[in-house]
Amino acid sequence: MIIRIKRDDLVEVIRGRDKGKRGTVQQISSKDSLAFIEGINLVKRHQKATGTTTQQGGIISIEKPLPLFKLMPVCPSCDKATRVTVRVLDDGTKARICKRCDGMFS
């Protein structure tokens, strides 16, 4: 399988409620094919105040992970959400290449 999206990538949401939004990948769960993205898919949770600690109750925002198929990496060269191909370089390392502009991902 081609690894399209990695940690610290800038990605764009291509489906769903947050379509068009961009954020940086904080964490990938490859087992579940989910990605946690900074500031995307925020859900408000009501948190109960717990009597024994100093923790305050109230509403907190948490990031829910998005399935990878709803995401596309944003090319650092052409600044567009794009498909990528993987190319093996001369030194044997694999690089992700933008299908739009042929630019290389970090």
C-alpha distance from residue 62 to each of 66, 85, 103 (Å): 13, 33, 34
Provide the pairing of β-strand 71-73 with 42-47.
unpaired
| 32/79 with CB nearer Zn ion | 79
Q: Between residue 67 and residue 106, which ones bind Zn ion under the rule CB under 5 A?
A: 75, 77-78, 98, 100-101, 103
Q: Are 56 and 49 in contact (CB under 8 A)?
A: yes
Helix, strand, or coil here: 48?
A: coil
Minimum distance, C-beta of residue 73 to Zn ion, in the bound complex (Å): 10
Q: Does 26 bind Zn ion (CB under 5 A)?
A: no
| 65/103 with CB nearer Zn ion | 103
Positions that interact with Zn ion (CB under 5 A): 75, 77-78, 98, 100-101, 103
